[in-house]
């Protein structure tokens, strides 16, 4: 492992809002002018390099990962030594000016490869929690912080090199755009978010994310070529992809498909290689039976992602807004994810589960394969 290098593991922030004025809710944060957006990103220490949108939301590829802007929801994830949480007071200030009220906050990240390189307020999970609680309003009174899998009581350390840090805060009210309670076994409004973190990528596959010597094409052209030659295009062929290839290496893409998105970020350097995949709107095993669409099936998607990168170590976090996740459905999801990637040489090493007020449940698993020389 390199002593120092680029931090691939992202920090991810999700803020959800509501308001009283239907006209405001129709466009909400999509009305935020680009100059204001740049000021927020400047505080985080990143910039916009490419963008695409549709009638549902706007998608931005950043110099360090991605930003998704819905009328009443913001999702931003950044890598490196960015100071992601510094965006919180700025987003909340703009929300107040628009007549929007924050009703939920969800922050997640993996275990940094280079934790000592992180800047305030990201030097520890505790510091991140304190910063969030100092900047979030009092109405978000239902809070929870968790590390998955839980650290050992004796050593205070996790049993896995991939740990999942989750902090949520909500006002405890079930809004139409958050969680809706139903009488049946499947929540019609269930939203499933899959977050995958991969390290020690196959070296031959990682080399595809380096620019060719003498290639002076723009980032969009290079990114499009990487999307095609790596097989990323095939993960969801229906999606509209906005991609970017960095110099001398690295790759980011956002894919939009109706109300849903997927995003991939790659740091291919040997010694600290890393790739991530995130998809929202994928189908859990129970909803798969109802909708029967293999294109957005979690297992099918995970297999495609693993084949693009062939990581030696991987973690999978699946967040479901459903309030119906039981012990049996939790076990079903564990087995389903494990079965989906086991044939590709990855074995499940840890599994954990937790519930978060206003944000449903999280199933988290880690996988390891054969070490590569």
C-alpha–C-alpha distance, residues 97 and 237, integer Å = 39
C-alpha–C-alpha distance, residues 251 and 179, integer Å = 34
Q: CA of 194: how far to CAs of 45, 266, 368, in Å?
A: 26, 17, 18
C-alpha–C-alpha distance, residues 205 and 160, integer Å = 25
Backbone φ and ψ for 31, nearest 5 degrees, come out as -85, -10
Each residue's pLDDT tens digit, 194-240: 999 999 999 999 999 999 999 999 999 999 999 999 999 999 999 99
Q: Which residues contact 244 (CB under 8 A, 6 or more apart)?
A: 49, 50, 61, 219, 220, 222, 223, 251, 252, 253
Percent of the chain with pLDDT over 90: 76
- Provide the pLDDT for residue 189: 64
CB 19 within 8 A of CB 100: yes
Q: Which position among 46, 170, 265, 320 bears the catalytic label?
A: 265
Each residue's pLDDT tens digit, 107-161: 999 999 999 999 999 999 999 999 999 999 999 999 999 999 988 776 566 666 7
Residue ranges of the binding site: 6, 64, 246, 269
CB 350 within 8 A of CB 160: yes
pLDDT tier for residue 177 given thresholds of 50, 70 and 90: very low
Q: Which position among 59, 239, 252, 312 bears the catalytic label?
A: 252
Q: CA of 347: how far to CAs of 218, 285, 368, in Å?
A: 39, 20, 6
Model confidence, pTM:
0.91
Q: Which position among 50, 59, 63, 65 bears the catalytic label?
A: 65
Burial of 103 (0-12, 13-18, 19+ CB in 10 A): buried
Helices (DSSP H) in 45-116: which residue ranges?
A: 87-98
Active site residue 160: no
Q: Which position among 63, 66, 79, 361 bears the catalytic label?
A: 79
Q: Looking at residues 335-351, what average pLDDT do you find? A: 93
Residue 3 scores a pLDDT above 70: no
Nearest to residue 317, comparing CAs of 359, 357, 286, 358? 359
C-alpha–C-alpha distance, residues 233 and 130, integer Å = 40
Residue ranges of the binding site for substrate: 6, 64, 246, 269
C-alpha–C-alpha distance, residues 150 and 341, integer Å = 24
- Provide the pLDDT for residue 287: 57
Q: Looking at residues 60-73, what average pLDDT do you find? A: 97
For the CA atoms of 133, 135, 137, 141, what is the dihedral angle to 10 degrees?
-10
Active site residue 265: yes
CB 12 within 8 A of CB 109: yes
Each residue's pLDDT tens digit, 233-273: 999 999 999 999 999 999 999 999 999 999 999 999 999 99
Higher pLDDT, 277 or 326: 277
Residue 29 scores a pLDDT above 90: yes
Active site residue 249: no
Instruction: Indicate if the alpha-carbon torsion angle 213, 218, 222, 225 is positive or negative.
Output: negative
């Amino acid at each position: 492992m390199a002593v120092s290098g680029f931090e691939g593991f992202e920090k991810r922030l999700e803020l959800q809002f509501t308001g009283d004025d239907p006209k405001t809710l129709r466009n909400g944060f999509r009305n935020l002018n680009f100059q204001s957006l740049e000021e927020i990103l400047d505080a985080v220490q990143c910039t916009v390099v490419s963008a695409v949108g549709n009638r549902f939301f706007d998608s931005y590829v950043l110099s360090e990962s991605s930003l998704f802007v819905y009328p009443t929801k913001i999702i931003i994830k950044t890598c490196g030594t960015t100071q992601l949480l510094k965006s919180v007071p700025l987003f909340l200030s703009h929300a107040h000016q628009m007549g929007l009220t924050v009703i939920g906050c969800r922050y997640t990240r993996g275990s940094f490869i280079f934790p000592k390189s992180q800047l305030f307020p990201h030097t520890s999970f505790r510091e991140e929690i304190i910063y969030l609680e100092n900047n979030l309003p009092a109405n978000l009174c239902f809070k929870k912080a968790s590390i998955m899998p839980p650290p050992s009581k004796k050593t205070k350390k996790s049993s896995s090199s991939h740990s999942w840090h989750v902090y949520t805060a909500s006002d405890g009210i079930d809004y139409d755009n958050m969680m809706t309670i139903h009488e049946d076994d499947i929540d019609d409004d269930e939203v499933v978010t899959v977050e995958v973190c991969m390290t020690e990528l196959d070296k031959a596959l990682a080399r595809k994310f380096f620019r060719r010597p003498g290639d002076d094409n723009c980032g969009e052209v290079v990114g499009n070529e990487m999307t095609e030659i790596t097989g990323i295009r095939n993960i969801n062929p229906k999606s509209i992809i906005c991609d970017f290839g960095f110099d001398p290496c690295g790759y980011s893409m956002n894919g939009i498909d109706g109300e849903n998105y997927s995003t991939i970020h790659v740091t291919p350097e040997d010694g600290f290689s890393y790739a991530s995949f995130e998809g929202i709107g994928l189908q859990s095993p129970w909803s798969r039976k109802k909708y029967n669409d293999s294109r957005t099936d979690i297992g099918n998607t995970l297999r495609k992602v693993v084949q693009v990168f062939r990581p030696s170590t991987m973690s999978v976090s699946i967040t479901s807004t459903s309030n119906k996740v039981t012990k049996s459905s939790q076990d079903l999801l564990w087995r389903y994810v494990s079965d989906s990637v086991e044939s590709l040489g990855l074995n499940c090493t840890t599994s954990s589960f937790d519930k978060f007020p206003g944000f449903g449940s999280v199933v988290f698993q880690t996988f390891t394969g054969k070490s590569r020389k």
